[in-house]
Chain A
Amino acid sequence: MTKPIVIIGAGQAGLQTAEALRAEGWDGGILLLGEEPHAPYHRPPLSKAYMLGEYSEAQLTIRGAEALAKKSIELRTGTRVAAIDRAAGEVVLAGGERIAYHGLVLATGSRARPLPFEGGTLPGVFALRTLDDCRAISAALEKAEGVAVIGGGFIGLEFAAVARKKGKPVVVFEAADRLMARVVAPLISDFYAGLHRRNGVELYLDAHVSGIAGRDGHAFAVRSGTGVDFVADLIIAGIGIIPNVELAKEAGLECEGGIVVDPCGRTADPRIVAAGDCTATRLADGRLRRLESVQNAVEQGKAAAAALMGREKPFLAPPWFWSDQYDVKLQMVGLSAGHDRVVVRGSVDDGKFTAFYFREGRLIGMDSANRAQDHMAGRKLIERGLTPTPEQAADESFALNALLA
């Protein structure tokens, strides 16, 4: 019997790779190994609709057991891979079992960065990464008297919006001088600071948190660098993620802020590919591109499956991402970093606008708030290297789709 393709990590990237392997014509075994006790599920709703209680756990599942069986994908949940033995071509499970692989996919994802100060692990302090985290937080949120979010990134802010919708007092601390600073331009950061404040969030920028104080063995207050205590019994750590590279590193694969792959998802070992949050992509010019998104997990999964089958289907499309906070859907495409001009279409005051970012007259990125039509057109424009003029971008009567025809 031929050896299976083994996939480590049953998240969005692992599942996508498994399905894409079938689409690419692999008819041998596919073994999807996941440490979590759940079948692959959608993570984005954990900080959005699911946390709000809008739907059930079963509705989070991406593919059910039958769907996987139909494609002869064998899923083993609750199964952690402890090591990769490249010389033998085997993975070693935590229980000691060895499984030989024909090809290996690393889709180990990432984990929440722990809070680097005193009290960061007290009961009442949570990271929001997994369904199990979400369950624990939901239960705590019902009883919480005060909520604190450390880190003004997407996940923390989405959670802050949910907690406000549930009527809880919420305080957000961000170390930088603006929200979501790593990804969005200042215009968007300012819009979101206003949005959260209007919805009753107590927001502190440039805020240095020095620790979390406990009382009776439970988190009790967030201590600011200036010595002020903010009482909170539910504290969310939203200070970013760490890619799970340890297995790859110990197996001698190159890692640099992620498992280094080429745009086709290939590592230096021809039998090993990687996809999703755990990777960093080496681009043709030598730069590393690191993305943490569903699109990246899906597209790298497709590329990695093709690569294992000896085909090149590089993922080089412009990145896109979205975030739901209150009644605003933010959709981002391309990268705004390095822009020399911003043009706005629509009205920031009405919360319906798109910011177009230009560099040397070329469109490099767009952030849309409640303007999905602009975003969808933007994905195609940027992918095809097309650009409106700044005047066309600002003119609501100019149809962006006209440039695509």
Chain B
Amino acid sequence: MPKVTYIEPSGNQVEIDVPVGWSVMQSAMSNGVEGIEAECGGSCACATCHCYVESHADVVPAAGETELSMLGNVVAERKPNSRLCCQIKMTPELEGLVVRFPDAQS
């Protein structure tokens, strides 16, 4: 299973095996990673799964239209590498992905 490193707001790093086909959000939530709320459960409707993608910039598929629109009003600072991690599906190419969660989601 590909591994993802999650960086919590405290700076603490958590490495998790994410099943292929799962979203980067789902593993963070089910493992209790700090810094993500994901209220809508991956419907791209809440924007509380905001993360900064710190690696694999060229490999992570681009954000869709709804996601980009939602990112326009996230609570923490929006940066060029901001994503909603419920929209990033795990693939073997993303082995070693690093994402960082912001200080606030809501």
- Tell me the bound Cα distance from A338 to B29 in angstroms: 39
- Tell me the bound Cα distance from A376 to B68 in angstroms: 11
By Cβ-Cβ distance, the 5 closest A-B pairs, closest first, are A67-B32, A42-B41, A376-B73, A372-B69, A64-B30
Contact A371:B69 (CB < 8 A) given known A294-B40, A376-B47: yes
Question: Could you list 15 A-B pairs, sorted by A, with CB under 8 Å?
Answer: A44-B41, A45-B41, A55-B21, A58-B30, A59-B22, A61-B29, A62-B30, A63-B32, A70-B32, A298-B39, A329-B43, A329-B44, A370-B65, A370-B66, A377-B73
- Tell me the bound Cα distance from A55 to B70 in angstroms: 22
Q: CB within 8 A of A67: which of B22, B29, B37? A: B29
Evaluate contact between A63 and B41: CB separation under 8 angstroms.
Answer: no
Which A positions have Cβ atoms within 8 angstroms of B? Answer: 42, 44-45, 48-49, 55-56, 58-64, 66-68, 70-71, 294-295, 298, 322, 324, 329, 331, 370-373, 376-377, 379-380, 401
Q: CB within 8 A of A373: which of B23, B30, B41, B69? A: B69
Q: Does B72 contact A (CB under 8 A)?
A: yes
Contact A322:B43 (CB < 8 A) given known A55-B21, A61-B30, A67-B31: yes
Return chain B residues, CB-CB under 8 Å to A56: 21
Return chain A residues, CB-CB under 8 Å to B39: 294-295, 298
Q: How far is the CB of A187 from chain B (nearest CB, A)?
A: 21
Return chain B residues, CB-CB under 8 Å to A329: 43-45, 66
Evaluate contact between B32 and A331: CB separation under 8 angstroms.
Answer: no
Return chain B residues, CB-CB under 8 Å to A64: 30-32
Q: How far is the CB of B27 from chain A (nearest CB, A)?
A: 9
Nearest-CB residue, chain A, relative to B66: A372
- Tell me the bound Cα distance from A371 to B73 in angstroms: 13
Return chain A residues, CB-CB under 8 Å to B26: 59
Nearest-CB residue, chain B, relative to A295: B39
Q: How far is the CB of A398 from chain B (nearest CB, A)?
A: 15
Return chain A residues, CB-CB under 8 Å to B69: 371-373, 376
Evaluate contact between A66 and B42: CB separation under 8 angstroms.
Answer: no
Evaluate contact between A66 and B31: CB separation under 8 angstroms.
Answer: yes
Q: How far is the CB of A246 from chain B (nearest CB, A)?
A: 28
What total of chain B residues lie within 8 Å of the partner, measured CB to CB? 24
- Tell me the bound Cα distance from A303 to B39 in angstroms: 16
Return chain B residues, CB-CB under 8 Å to A48: 43
Q: How far is the CB of A107 from chain B (nearest CB, A)?
A: 15
How many A-B contacts at CB < 8 Å in the complex?
81
Evaluate contact between A379 and B73: CB separation under 8 angstroms.
Answer: yes
Return chain B residues, CB-CB under 8 Å to A294: 39-41, 46
Q: CB within 8 A of B43: which of A44, A60, A371? A: A44
Return chain A residues, CB-CB under 8 Å to B30: 58, 61-64, 67
Evaluate contact between B40 and A44: CB separation under 8 angstroms.
Answer: yes
- Tell me the bound Cα distance from A298 to B31 in angstroms: 19
- Tell me the bound Cα distance from A324 to B46 in angstroms: 13
Q: How far is the CB of B3 from chain A (nearest CB, A)?
A: 16
Return chain A residues, CB-CB under 8 Å to B46: 294-295
Q: CB within 8 A of B32: which of A59, A66, A298, A373? A: A66
Evaluate contact between A68 and B73: CB separation under 8 angstroms.
Answer: no
Q: How far is the CB of A396 from chain B (nearest CB, A)?
A: 13
Evaluate contact between B40 and A68: CB separation under 8 angstroms.
Answer: no
Nearest-CB residue, chain A, relative to B89: A55
- Tell me the bound Cα distance from A18 to B59 in angstroms: 37
Nearest-CB residue, chain B, relative to A331: B45
Return chain B residues, CB-CB under 8 Å to A59: 22-23, 26, 42
Q: CB within 8 A of A49: which of B37, B42, B73? A: B42
- Tell me the bound Cα distance from A67 to B37 in angstroms: 13
Return chain B residues, CB-CB under 8 Å to A380: 73
Of A49, A298, A372, the most chain B CB neighbours within 10 A belong to: A372
Q: How far is the CB of A75 from chain B (nearest CB, A)?
A: 13
Contact A322:B40 (CB < 8 A) given known A59-B26, A67-B30, A331-B45: yes
| Chain B stretch 50-84: residues in CB contact (< 8 A) with chain A | 65-66, 69-70, 72-73
Of A45, A68, A331, A377, the most chain B CB neighbours within 10 A belong to: A331
Q: How far is the CB of A350 from chain B (nearest CB, A)?
A: 13
Of B32, B47, B72, the most chain A CB neighbours within 10 A belong to: B32
- Tell me the bound Cα distance from A104 to B37 in angstroms: 24
Q: How far is the CB of B96 from chain A (nearest CB, A)?
A: 22
- Tell me the bound Cα distance from A294 to B69 in angstroms: 21
Evaluate contact between B73 and A401: CB separation under 8 angstroms.
Answer: yes
Evaluate contact between A45 and B21: CB separation under 8 angstroms.
Answer: no
Evaluate contact between B70 and A376: CB separation under 8 angstroms.
Answer: yes
Of B23, B37, B43, the most chain A CB neighbours within 10 A belong to: B43
Of B22, B31, B72, the most chain A CB neighbours within 10 A belong to: B72
